[in-house]
A and B are shown apart, each in its own frame.
Chain A
Amino acid sequence: MAIKSKKKLVENIIHGVFLVLGLVTVGCVLLITVYLIVSGIPAIREIGLIDFLFGKEWASTAAEPKYGILPFILTSIYGTAGAIVIGVPIGFFTAVYLAKQAPTKFKAVMESAISLLAGIPSVVYGFVGMMVLVPGIRKVFNVPDGASLLAAIIVLAVMILPSIIKVSMTALEAVPKEYEDASLALGATPVETYFRVSVPAAKSGIATAVVLGVGRAIGEAMAVMMVSGNAANMPSLFQSVRFLTTAVSSEMAYSSGLQQQALFSIALVLFLFIMLINATLNFFLKGQKEGT
């Protein structure tokens, strides 16, 4: 009897250990949330929520510092929107082709190429953008400096391509073959079938891909930092701009006091954006589960 109860005790302890390991993830999320809120609130209190969110001027090192982050918020939104406008159509059509029409060998080659694209470090994207895109924009559009919102948009569009292609492909491949067969039997050509039957059937998966792209674009820091010029201007295509992410990273190294606290508040705003995107993502994922 004693052996049995001892064995049970050990089992219980081990169960407890695994429970704790499982809860580490939850703890991490709580840690991040609590830290961001606790360190982000003081500066917002001091500056005032309205002045902070809608102030048009950021001059953190001026004699009379101004902490308005509207330029960063708008730049992040415009930059992400631009990346989506360029990246989603390319990714979408590529996904349809690869999922439905491509020869097996070509598909395999492209799939590994796209995985590679997903694995390339963001600093490499930023660096290539800095060496190719920035001087290119300066020459083509004849502007004084190519480090601009446009350069950031193009880099982001390339960076979100892999997730858009992969997730859309998975959704398109999951469309039941009967749907397509029915459409073909009714006389639609293959291309019509893909776009009028398969795509609508996979629409929540494709929406998920777009939302994932938005999340990746809005959170990217290093690549954007290397090509966007980093001046706290209101967003304009050919001007040097600063994103929410780069606002945090560009001043963190030398900031202190209220300036540093304001950077934490920017991170909090970014975090709220991400949470909003996650909620949207969950909404689409749920739709997908119910749809199938």
Chain B
Amino acid sequence: MQHNPLPARRKAYIGTMRMLMWISVAIAGALVLFLVGYVLVKGIPNITWELLSTKPSYLDGTIGILPNILNTVYIILATLVVVLPLGVGAAIYLTEYAGNQKIVGMIEYAAETLSGIPSIIYGLVGMLFFCQFMNMQTSLLAGSLTLVIMNLPTIMRTTQESLKTVPQSYREGAFGLGAGKWRVIRTVVLPGCVDGIVTGCILAIGRILGESAALLFTAGFAHALNGLFDGLTSAGATLTVALYVYAKEQGEFDVAFAIAAILMVLTVLVNLCAALVGKYFKRKNSV
């Protein structure tokens, strides 16, 4: 068979497109490498045990980020404790109970709207509603409740996805044995959607870890060292807010780099967890 060479115009088109693809991929890849590399190289040398284990002291002029680490943990815990029942419950309602398509549409539309709202607006409404109207003041609790609204759609969606993978025959089997709806949900449906809940949790943790704009006016920027319950009722900066304050307002770049490196490592870990959990459940479901 004779093989005609391509006309020059087509060749040029193909060449250009190929080049553009390679350049774009190279840019995207280089960006990730640069960002991760730069932050880690600049930040890791500044991470010392003293930084991690103390609180800032004006007397000694030292800076420690232990309070910020604890605040981040508190906020993650408090947010998850509230958002899990809400999100999972909403997902169960949508897949197991809802008969009225109008209500389903309304809830799904609301969830979509929530996931599109920028965090600064959450921060503002959180400040107005939780801090002022509910009289919580600027506190970790107000911050967590704001983040609950933010993360509600995430938990709802991941749970809903995995509820859909629970085979209908399981439910029918349980109903056939005479179980009531609530019993079926407790014993058959919920265990089947653990993977969605876990994935949702990991995604939510990642999002809470990285959130700053919504926390600035709701959780504030204090650096006091507190236990969990005192911590929730008082103001406190998470790692991200602390990074902002140290970098932008106090010019403590070494500390800021250290926090950025910690956040980067945590982000990598969260991503790894998400990938591993995804793989684990996929394997489990396919068996």
Binding site for B on A (CB under 8 A): 7, 10-11, 14-15, 17-19, 21-26, 28-29, 31-32, 35-36, 39, 89-94, 96-98, 101-102, 110, 112-117, 119-124, 126-128, 130-132, 158, 161, 165, 189, 191-192, 194-195, 215, 218-222, 225-226, 245, 248-249, 252-253, 263-264, 267, 270-271, 274-275, 277-278, 281-282
Contact = CB atoms under 8 A, between A and B. Distances in A.
B28 A161 contact: yes
A240 B108 CA distance: 40
A120 B124 contact: no
B24 to A, nearest CB: 4
B191 interface: no
Q: Is the interface of A mostly helix, strand, loop or mixed?
A: helix
The 8 closest A-B pairs by CB, nearest first: A219-B118, A21-B89, A121-B210, A93-B24, A22-B93, A18-B93, A97-B21, A221-B120
Given A25-B90, A26-B106, A128-B38, A114 B212 contact: no
A264 B98 CA distance: 37
Given A26-B106, A249-B216, 19 more contacts: A15-B181, A17-B89, A18-B96, A21-B85, A22-B93, A31-B129, A35-B129, A36-B121, A36-B124, A36-B125, A89-B24, A93-B23, A116-B268, A124-B35, A191-B18, A215-B116, A249-B217, A252-B216, A271-B121
A124 B90 contact: no
Counting chain A CB atoms within 10 Å of each CB, which of B38, B119, B120, B211 scores highest? B120
Contacts of A132: 38
Counting chain B CB atoms within 10 Å of each CB, which of A115, A226, A275 scores highest? A115
11 contacts: A22-B93, A28-B152, A35-B128, A89-B20, A94-B24, A121-B211, A123-B243, A130-B248, A191-B17, A225-B248, A253-B217
Counting chain B CB atoms within 10 Å of each CB, which of A36, A123, A130, A189 scores highest? A123
Nearest to A264: B124
Nearest to A10: B182
B25 A28 contact: no
B31 interface: yes
Given A121-B212, A189-B14, A165 B28 contact: yes
A26 to B, nearest CB: 4
Q: Is the interface of B mostly helix, strand, loop or mixed?
A: helix
A121 B181 contact: no
Contact of B90 (A22, A225, A278): A22
Contacts of B116: 215, 274, 277-278, 281
A102 to B, nearest CB: 8
Given A26-B107, A119-B267, A128-B39, A274 B25 contact: no
Nearest to A281: B116
Contact of B97 (A19, A114, A189, A275): A19
Interface string B224-260: 0000000000000000110110011000010011001
B92 interface: yes
